[in-house]
Amino acid sequence: MKIATWNINGVKARIDNLLAWLEESQPDIACLQEIKSVDENFPRLEIEALGYHVETHGQKGFNGVAILSKLRFDEVNRRLPGDETDEQSRFIEGVFSTSAGALRVVSLYLPNGNPVGTEKFPYKLGWMERLERWTAGRLALEEPLVLAGDYNVIAKPIDAKNPSAWVDDALFQPETREAFRRLEWLGMTDAIRAVTDEQLFTFWDYQAGAWQKDNGIRIDHLLLSPEAGRHLSSAAVEKHVRAWEKPSDHVPVAIDLALEAAA
């Protein structure tokens, strides 16, 4: 079973790329972030025509997450619990029936947090604390769980071409990296780092020739529970998508799990 995550950076602006990628890559489950669309305007018909079920948690103009799945959804949960005042659309969970029982897949778009020194950074850290609490609760179920998305976290220096350029950025602050490590300490595995120590990037800014210079960072991650991690067979960054016409500044990251849809 192939599960992928991609910050699409505007689904309507990049629908052609999305459809081309779905046909080329053939993920069984695709998690999208920054769809920048309300639910009723999401281009579901084009995606459903390729054999996908579509669930969204949208927001006008910015944010927004979605899960596209060839498997039928058994359950869908929107919004990260823990703060009833948080109206930003950044979290959706789908539950699916597989050969290993229930599989839980989350598409998440973690807050950027910049500029540090404004209310945006405490919001980021608070969101990560809520995610940690939620994840601990889900881990107690002892089911395969995949947290896929744009974390806006540069976890380690190797995850940036020029780490020194990010020392004042919210993505690379010690508190941010510690919060990410706490998720791992719960028992979650960074899928890419489970298969390679190679320096890989998932984001290249549109400015200053970042793509041409390969001046990137790795901020899109799939974290796996022990029950999901034991089924991991491969993980890869689909870097070539960044060279397509009118690209997102992010590229897809995909894993293969030795699971099958329930009969």
Contacts (Cβ under 8 Å, ≥6 apart) of 199: 158, 159, 161
Check whether 7 is labelled as a binding-site residue: yes
Q: Please count the other Cβ atoms lying within 10 Å of the Cβ belonging to residue 60.
A: 11
Strands 29-33 and 2-7: parallel
Check whether 215 is labelled as a binding-site residue: no
CB 94 within 8 A of CB 29: yes
Strands 91-98 and 75-78: antiparallel
Mean pLDDT by 10 residues, the chain (263 residues): 98 98 98 98 97 97 96 98 96 95 97 98 98 98 98 98 98 98 98 98 96 98 98 98 98 97 84
Quick one: pLDDT at residue 100? 85
Q: Hey, which CATH number is domain 2-257, 3.30.230.70, 3.60.10.10, 3.10.20.310, 3.65.10.10?
A: 3.60.10.10
Quick one: pLDDT at residue 263? 74
Active site residues: 109, 150, 250
CB 65 within 8 A of CB 59: no
Check whether 169 is labelled as a binding-site residue: no
The residue assigned the tokens 């290993």 is 100
Q: What does residue 173 show for φ and ψ, rounded to 5 degrees?
A: -65, 150
| pTM higher than 0.75 | yes
Q: Which two tokens stand for residue 112?
A: 């950027």
Give the domain ranges of the chain. Answer: 2-257
Amino acid making up residue 132:
E
Would you give the DSSP letter of residue 114?
P
Q: What does residue 39 show for φ and ψ, rounded to 5 degrees?
A: -55, -45
Q: What does residue 86 show for φ and ψ, rounded to 5 degrees?
A: -80, 110
Check whether 112 is labelled as a binding-site residue: no
Q: What is the dihedral of CA 59, 3, 242, 236, to 10 degrees?
A: 150
Quick one: pLDDT at residue 70? 98
Quick one: pLDDT at residue 47? 98
Q: Which two tokens stand for residue 215?
A: 């001046």
Share of the chain residues as helix, strand and coil, in percent rounded to the nearest 5:
30, 30, 45
Element (H, E) at 86: none
Amino acid making up residue 161:
K
Amino acid making up residue 144:
P
Strand partners, 189: 224
Check whether 250 is labelled as a binding-site residue: yes
